[in-house]
Amino acid sequence: MSTDHVLTDPRPTPRLTVSIVSHGNASQLSAVLDSLCAQEQPRDLQLIVTDNLGHDLPALDPSPWHSLTLLRNDSPRGFAGNHNTASRHAEGEYFCVLNPDVLFLEPVFEPLIRRIEAGEGDIAAPLVLDPRGQVQDSFRSLPTPLELFQRGALGRRSVPVPGSAALISPDWIAGFFMLMRTSVYSGLGGMDEGYRLYLEDVEFCTRARLNGFSLVVDPALRLQHDARRASRTELSFLLWHVQSALRFFISPVYRQAKRLRK
């Protein structure tokens, strides 16, 4: 792995570190960075971008950001491994795992940080919409094998549409946006690198709850996400999904979480 590290601000530490991994997502990355600059305060952000293919991304302009780190992999790595490596470069008090296929529609970082600082949750996210404006199932209860089969094989999805502005406390939050203190992410040891693209977020959030951390979704805040759902159309992704599901459902983390729900 090679690293390009460019400091652009004399302040000692940024407010927040944002970790984005590109898997051939150059055009989407450009769009999400533009939306970040338009809606957030880029001078408060340390941006860490991982080029998972090692050659996909051109040099990025560091000038909008507090600081910019570009990591180029010698060979592709998994979702968990890439964000875990990024977390070791994190300088911000807060850390956000972010997908390249999202768009910021409004400021969300500071409102969510205020929720965390008020003790309303330790891992936070906004409500997520698809490009048509429909609410996505970006937060859910602890899954069961039957539920996961019904979602994957039969396409049955239950989208929890909030009926009020009350905060939501789910069992897990989808990994395309998870915001927390950097100390929480590192204290949990990051995500489990034994997973391949699927259920890392489920396992991480479940382990976080077992360690006393809480999750919160603020339905007053909006983010757009264009889900690919490749496991429904590509065999290799489907196999990875099945392997990850088996790993999770036989894990001590899942067994312990199930016992606590009884």
Helices (H), 123-199: 145-154, 182-187
Contact criterion met (CB below 8 Å) for 124 and 218: yes
pLDDT band, residue 222 (cuts 50/70/90): very high
pLDDT (average), residues 215-241: 77
* CA 173 to centroid of chain Cα atoms: 8
φ/ψ of 134, rounded to 5, equals -85, 140
Enter the tokens of residue 124: 């936070």
- Quick count: other Cβ atoms within 10 Å of Cβ 105? 15
Strand pairing report for 67-72 and 94-98 = unpaired
Question: pLDDT tens digit string along 96-133?
Answer: 999 999 999 999 999 999 999 999 999 999 999 999 99
Q: 181 or 147: which carries more pLDDT confidence?
A: 181
Instruction: Measure CA of the first residue to CA of the last residue in the chain; give whole Å.
Output: 45
Position of tokens 């001590």?
A: 252
pLDDT (average), residues 167-195: 96
Enter the tokens of residue 2: 């090679």
Please state which of the ranges 100-104, 143-147, 176-180 shows the lowest mean pLDDT.
143-147
Q: 151: closest CA among 164, 161, 141?
A: 141
pLDDT (average), residues 30-58: 94
Q: Is the pLDDT at 207 greater than 50, yes or no?
A: yes
Return all residues near 87 (Cβ < 8 A) that are at least 6 apart: 17, 19, 95, 182, 185, 186, 190
Class level of CATH domain 2-261: alpha beta
Q: What proportion of the chain, given as a percentage, has pLDDT over 70?
A: 85
Task: Quote the pLDDT of residue 226.
Answer: 87
Helices (H), the chain: 26-39, 79-88, 109-117, 145-154, 182-187, 200-210, 235-249, 252-261
pLDDT band, residue 253 (cuts 50/70/90): very high
Q: Is the pLDDT at 231 greater than 50, yes or no?
A: no
pTM exceeds cut of 0.85:
yes
